Structure 1
């Protein structure tokens, strides 16, 4: 199940929200004020942020602005008693995906959480086979099948890497996002060469390791992505 981060200074509301989320099966991280909330928002691994606006130390707008600068693909739902149109517009313009005005029902909140997670760009679609110019990557069988009849085994991590990239085809994925989503570790604890080495090994297995890769592309300053459409023969 996805992991949610709840930043809310009202202890009764925070407890009610976190209890409801855990009862629904979600993993939950929580912070009671802006300083701890900012730290978790920028360093923890989670799939959705539920964010209060009025917080001690850092307000919700400051946390939202920092999050969207450093982790732009992370979805956010604002939880606030400030229902004025100007606040809603400001939150949405800063990148929030939804805005829930207090008081709200648990049922409404859970429905909004599910809706945002469904359309989140970081929530991968299930991919079973990934075509590439020389054949097909079979995620379930952990192998590459080439049009010439040959096969190449893939490691679990190589399969997870190509599956994640395929689920987000058309979007450049940063090293930091790959470390969080594929390796499930925080970038500050790991050298980024880990990702680069796996990309190089995967390119070699895909036979895409020439001077200008045609399938597993490097987007300068942004990360890696798969070619939009692979023209493939029958494997």
Structure 2
């Protein structure tokens, strides 16, 4: 059964999410703050985390950043009471897979959760189907990447952007194409977010990220993977 961790310091909000997710058939655990969440994540395995941003002592940004620095790539949806662009950009840069601004509809949150789980709960077959992209070899089915024998850390969203570019290689892909097809909902992040994702992907794919040979910028239009 899919297991979700809900992290929110507001008890009413947390309990409401827990009850509704359990009603949808998920196994649900909860944490009242970031520190408790990190302790639980160290001892339990979760398929997805719903994480509030504005919490005392340890914010959702801090939790997300610490998990990614430790190599934990569990999908994360950030809940934020703010709507400013900077909060959205920061959340994605810290490695979150998605964000949703309060107040939100339960239907929208459930749709986001299902979309992420569809992408991440892939086949567990041990056979690797590696695709070579620059200096990196990628298994898009298992969401794994390697440079030589070393495993490379990519967020789920980075995998999706990379996969989309690979499926459209030799073609120009606009920033709007990526926003529409990867994020896939009406309230898009900014095109600057795409540029930041491309920068991070280049650092892993390119031998020299400052002189890219695999993912090229087509000025005024977008990107092209060779």
How high is the TM-score relative to the length of structure 1? 0.54
Length, aligned pairs only = 144
Q: 1:32 to 1:125 in 2, by over 3 A?
A: same
Residue 151 of structure 1 corresponds to which residue in structure 2? none
Partner Cα distance (2:143, 2:116) in 1: 20
| Deviation for aligned residue 1:65 | 0.2
Show the counterpart of 1:168: 142
Q: Which runs of 5+ in 1 are unaligned?
A: 133-164, 173-217, 224-235
Structure-1 residue corresponding to 2:149: 219
Distance (Å, rounded) in 2 between the aligned partners of 1:131 and 1:220:
15
Aligned mates of 1:82, 1:166 — CA distance in 2: 34
Indicate if the aligned counterparts of 2:9 and 2:33 stay in contact, CA closer than 8 A: yes
Task: Tell me the equivalent position of 1:62.
Answer: 62
Who is 1:94 aligned against? 94
SS of equivalent residue, structure 2 residue 99: strand
Rounded Cα–Cα distance in structure 2 between residues aligned with 1:20 and 1:109: 11
Task: Indicate how the Cα distance of structure 1 residues 222 and 11 shifts in structure 2: closer, same or farther if over 3 A, else same.
Answer: same
Corresponding position of 2:103: 103
Change beyond 3 A, Cα 1:97–1:222: closer
Question: Does the CA-based 8 Å contact 2:3-2:27 persist in structure 1?
Answer: yes
Question: 1:26-41 alignment to 2 at 5 Å?
Answer: 26-41=26-41
d(CA) in 1 for partners of 2:64, 2:143: 26
Provide Cα deviations, 1:49-99, integer angstroms capped at 9, x if missing partner.
Answer: 100011122111110001111234211100111221110110011111111
Q: Cα RMSD between the aligned structures?
A: 2.9
CA contact (8 A) 1:76 1:97 kept: yes
Q: What is the distance in 2 between the residues matched to 1:52 and 1:108?
A: 16
Q: For residues 126 and 7 of structure 1, do their structure 2 counterparts lie closer, same or farther at Cα, with a shift above 3 Å needed?
A: same
Tell me what 1:125 maps to.
123
CA distance in 2, matches of 1:131, 1:73: 19
Distance 1:79 1:221, change over 3 A: closer
Q: Identify if the C-alpha distance between structure 1 residues 42 and 65 changes in structure 2 by more than 3 Å, giving closer, same or farther.
A: farther
**What do residues 125-182 of structure 1 show as CA deviations (whole Å, max 9, x unaligned)?**
265x9599xxxxxxxxxxxxxxxxxxxxxxxxxxxxxxxx99527535xxxxxxxxxx
Q: Secondary structure at the match of 1:171?
A: strand
Q: Any stretches of 5+ residues in structure 2 without a counterpart?
A: 130-138, 154-226
- Which one has a bigger Cα radius of gyration? 1
